[in-house]
Amino acid sequence: MKISGVDVEFLKQKYNTPLYIYDEEHIIKNMNGYLNNFKSNKFNTEVLYASKAFCVKEMIRLVKQAGMSLDVVSLGELKTALAVDFDMSKVYFHGNNKSVEEITCALENNVGTIVVDNYMELVTLENLCQKFQKKCNILIRLNVGVEAHTHKFIVTAHVDSKFGVLYESIEYNNMMDLIRNSNYINFKGFHSHIGSQIFDLQAFSAALEKLINICKNFSQPLILNIGGGFGVKYVDEDKPIPFDVVSKTLIDECEKSLEKNNIQIEKLCIEPGRSIVAEAGYTLYTIGGIKKTPNKLYYFIDGGMTDNIRPALYQAKYNADIIGKEDMLKSQIVTVAGKCCESGDIIIENIPLPKAIKGDLLITHTTGAYGYSMSSNYNKALTPAVVFVNDGKDKLVCRRQTIDELLEREL
């Protein structure tokens, strides 16, 4: 098996396993797909990469080179952007509990927009703006009450969500009062994010319609950011909507709604993350053991929930192949299990695979989002290396963590 012209077995020999592999050309194609299609001649548009999906310096360099903007949610993600000299005017800083340190760093580095999640955060931001004599552009994150049909842990817009404020609630009204009396806060518009791994564009249309109706109450054209969460293909039953269809549908829906309501907006933003990197990523493992129980056949891999927590966290499903046996009969019903001391350390359950032996390589598909970024050192596991491949060439972008690095912070 080759990825972008690079033999997977060669990568195993060079970098060992577990190993995160990214098809760089695939990432660039996805970014350009959004940039080329998310356009309107009636309002400005902006495509932000949601860096929480996969945030390493080389990835943010690709975002910078493509001309995309950036969504960050922590000091670490912000510092990663600073490390590659990303244009801070194109950075949007999210989060429901930003620390004083994080807000201070954003102000000191002239981050373009802070997405304010709640009243207490706005008070903190106002105080820090006064302290540093800095003005700040903000969007208010609204909870629009649209529930996408996805796992409960990744739905973010039901009325009791930890994210955002309800329109015309006491908290919202207090925020608008503070903004009206502030010499530092520049209110620019609203943000909404309804969930992740969504295949139904009607959910986005409903959220967008609610935001546009709210715009009627403002004299100036606003910026609307409708977030991300566009679904990708993990398994055969997943039917993602292509990014050109997503982009054009959202633009068309927005233009029609604006015309119907006879209003204008300044800009419409989206925040794809998973749909840019997920299908471009793979995780490569070595099978270390095979076990047959009365009801199961296990293939044990040299990674697990420490490099991919999603199956344990919210029952995410994946496809996989045995390298060199992709075309062989898939005669075994297998549970792919990791090496952590947890019964729930299962990467894939009941997947048809060819008969394997110890030392075979197993590769899981569509692991480019939330694999590396949610990895952990549970059981003192080491974080795998990350390799980009493109046109027959491989490039190490993150070294494999060493034992010394794992222990160096411990006193």
| Active-site annotation, residues | 341
Q: Give the DSSP letter of residue 216.
A: T
Burial tier of 32 (Cβ tally within 10 Å: 0-12, 13-18, 19+): middle
Report the alpha-carbon distance of residue 386 to residue 11 in Å, rounded: 11
Confirm if 306 and 381 have CB atoms less than 8 A apart. Answer: yes
User: How far is C-alpha 102 from the chain's CA centre?
Assistant: 20
Report the alpha-carbon distance of residue 225 to residue 239 in Å, rounded: 25
Backbone angles phi, psi at 223, to 5 degrees: -90, 130
Question: Is the previous residue joined to 272 through a cis bond, with omega within 30 degrees of 0?
Answer: no
Question: Is the previous residue joined to 352 through a cis bond, with omega within 30 degrees of 0?
Answer: no
Confirm if 296 and 251 have CB atoms less than 8 A apart. Answer: no
The CB density around residue 97, as the number of other CB atoms within 10 Å, is 10
Report the alpha-carbon distance of residue 315 to residue 131 in Å, rounded: 46
Report the alpha-carbon distance of residue 291 to residue 286 in Å, rounded: 15
Residue with tokens 């518009």: 189
Pick the closest to residue 141 from 122, 118, 160 (CA basis): 118
